[in-house]
Chain A
């Protein structure tokens, strides 16, 4: 186990739901409900799922933005949320995050050179030449040093996302959490950002947790992929294995629903029914059972346990547990 850079163990994040002014009983939205996975050094793990599946919450818990309700996150075997003070700060420095919307993630009143090194300042790093670091990073992400004195509004969406990437690189992180970093961008710009992230990952031997709802993006960037549905991880494995021979009925439905930009590959079959459940009120048993084409009696009574079918390919589904 020691070889994993990140190990997430039975992570649960519940949000309290306000049900009314005088409500006595508390209701919880189980955004993430018992998720475990690992990320190796230099590896890209793609996290896919539809809206409300909890993928962003997993990312935020890993980035130290949301405190988990229970469970553990180990960074190089150190329990992130058990550490205190200076030690926790040093571990957190190794994890950075890039957000979806580059129009709200950069402070409009700060100059680019200050935005880029802000994480270092917050971490209290002293005796370093901030300007020199900003210069090096801005060129690394494909912009130039005369951009450093400008403000965010002078940049396009793609350029802003480059600035956000430069900022994430400032602390020399091991892990970058990228939460839908290209979904606010046009495809031609998306390609630029994906290629940049690809190059940086190789050059710096970074690990990414790459969160996306776009299966094409996931296939392009990830080594392994984890599929979430309604707060649970339903399938995880090598990208090619999961995308070409998915085992969980949800992954299968999801992949069938993706429109392929090839007229001869147009989908002919009917698609899975229904919509993802309300996270405040998920169905009992396997959370996919109301929509599942292979539903069995057991599926609404019990929660499936995770099983490993092939090395590294794990799923949560009763279809494979009986064998």
Chain B
């Protein structure tokens, strides 16, 4: 098995609002090996993006990482200075955001923006020619036709899918070890989404890069990921290999989630729906945050700290499995 590239330990990221503290990420732990693709799944507001931004140390005010460790290649990112962190962002860890229309600057050519990303992390000063060669090479690699001309074009001259290709090009330009992709295809049409997923898979093979794919789309997880972590209200409720989690889900939330997706490939009986809403879940301190909506809820779910129970690499945080291996 490959080495562990990233190890997140008991990460807590809180947002200090005027009257309340929102515990957006509240004790998240997981591991990612080299070349592995982890899907981070959950509904809006579950803390999946906050987890990603914590790894990049880009949590905006009034948010703060209050506890935990993020070991990346053995170093704790939370102990690094801002300057050291800048050397990691965009070089060792690349990031792709949801909206390709907002991620590129409209007043600069895409070639210029790519060369900026390359120069920023270049070990020594590069001459213009070799930078241009690299820019053209990357654009070609991500599937932009005639890159030797198109690097002179501005973002508005590209379609949404092409812009996302350019963003992916930028994220791999310095051959990172890890790419964090936050809903990279959500703004795109389904045929274009499939092309972008193909491109990411192909680059993953080529560079042996690890990917954290943040998404609400379980179809994409099934298609692309090796492992999946299901998040609910700031906590991971279940994590494991994609096949284990999809075929033998353990947490009641995961089970309901999988049965609530209308599928195109099979006739669905009536969809399961999860009663109620996530409202109020973040205020639950000791107990399970899903218990107000859980069909299997027991008394102790209300106020007893949930521990992790594991079956090999498949880990679930739920009192139902007490008595199994802890």
Structural contact, A216 and B264, CB atoms closer than 8 A: yes
Judge whether B58 is part of the interface by a CB distance below 8 angstroms.
Answer: no
**A215–B264 touching, CB < 8 Å:** yes
A219 at the B interface (CB under 8 A) = yes
Contact A216 B194 (CB under 8 A): no
A319 at the interface (CB under 8 A from B): no
Closest to A193 in B: B273
Q: Using a Cβ–Cβ cut-off of 8 Å, how many residues does chain B contribute to the interface with A?
A: 46
Contact B246 A261 (CB under 8 A): yes
- Check A273 for interface membership: any CB of B closer than 8 A: yes
Tell which of B79-87, B172-180, B252-260, B318-326 binds the partner: B252-260
Whether A255 contacts B277 by the Cβ 8 Å rule is no
The chain B residue sitting closest to A212, CB to CB, is: B262
Rounded to whole angstroms, the CA-CA distance of A215 and B264 in the bound complex is: 6
Determine how close the nearest CB of chain B comes to the CB of A270; give it in whole angstroms.
7
- Which of chain A's residues have a CB closer than 8 A to the CB of B277? 156, 158, 189
Q: Check: A259 CB closer than 8 A to any chain B CB.
A: yes
Residue of A51, A221, A259 touching B194 (CB-CB under 8 A): A259
A26 adjacent to chain B (CB < 8 Å)? no
Across chains A and B, which 10 residue pairs bring their CB atoms closest together, nearest first? A259-B219, A220-B262, A257-B194, A191-B273, A186-B43, A188-B274, A50-B189, A216-B262, A191-B260, A261-B218
Residues of A within 8 A of B221 (CB): 261
Tell me the chain A residues, 263-303 only, with Cβ under 8 Å from chain B. 263-267, 270-273, 275-276
Contact A271 B198 (CB under 8 A): yes
CA A158 – CA B246 in complex, angstroms? 26
- Bound-complex Cα distance A192 to B260 (A): 9
Using a CB–CB cutoff of 8 Å, the interface residues on chain B facing chain A are 43-44, 159-162, 189-195, 197-198, 216-223, 242-243, 246-247, 256-258, 260-265, 267-268, 270-275, 277, 279
CB-CB < 8 A to B256: which residues of A?
Answer: 188
Q: What would 24 A/B residue contacts be, using CB atoms closer than 8 Å? A: A50-B189, A189-B273, A191-B262, A194-B262, A195-B273, A213-B190, A214-B262, A215-B264, A217-B262, A219-B267, A243-B264, A254-B190, A257-B190, A258-B219, A259-B193, A259-B220, A260-B265, A261-B261, A263-B246, A267-B194, A270-B198, A271-B195, A275-B191, A276-B189
Smallest beta-carbon distance B24→chain A, Å: 16
Given contacts A259-B197, A265-B222, contact A188 B192 (CB under 8 A): no
Rounded to whole angstroms, the CA-CA distance of A259 and B246 in the bound complex is 14
**Max chain A C-beta neighbours (<10 A), residue from B195, B261, B274, B275:** B261
The residue from B44, B217, B223, B270 contacting A267, defined by CB atoms under 8 A apart: B223
Residues of A contacting B261 in the complex (Cβ-Cβ under 8 angstroms): 187, 191, 216, 261
Q: How far is the CB of B281 from chain A (nearest CB, A)?
A: 13
A190 beta carbon closer than 8 Å to chain B:
yes
- Knowing A191-B274, A276-B189 touch, does A271 contact B222 (C-beta < 8 A)? no
* A262 on the B face (CB < 8 A): yes
